[in-house]
Homo-oligomer: A and B are copies of this chain.
Amino acid sequence: MKIRHYQDVPATNPLPGVKKRVCIGPDEGAGNFILRVFDVEPGQASPDHAHPWEHEIFVLTGQGAVRDEQGTETPFREGYTLFLPADEKHCMINKGSDVLRFVCIIPTGVE
């Protein structure tokens, strides 16, 4: 059993204004899926991108929107869950004035 606060996990900066913490992954023995926590600063977003694996997301705090392949933006906030299937183009955008924080789970071995 491995227990720790997510803030005790060292963060990387995969993009400007974005912090990524791999809280439960292969280093912890997770063989099937990986739990990450992302902090997105106001005004920041992920690129519009797609990949052959799914995201399962739980929004912890903040105001955001996800943009799909057609450019449609769907808003979300704390308590929302998002299922983004494999190969579906998406972009996570912070639409608020505070940090957007979410849990994002992916299969092990894809990154």
Task: Enumerate chain A interface residues (CB-CB to B < 8 A).
Answer: 1-7, 9, 23-24, 28-33, 35, 37, 54, 56, 58, 60, 66, 68, 74, 76, 79-85, 88, 90, 103, 105, 107
Contacts and interface: CB of A to CB of B under 8 A. Distances in A.
Contact of A2 (B5, B83, B105): B83
What secondary structure prevails in chain A residues at the interface with B?
strand
A1 B32 contact: no
A30 B99 CA distance: 28
Q: Which of A5, A29, A105 has the most CB of B within 10 A?
A: A105
Nearest to A35: B56
Given A30-B54, A103-B58, A81 B35 contact: yes
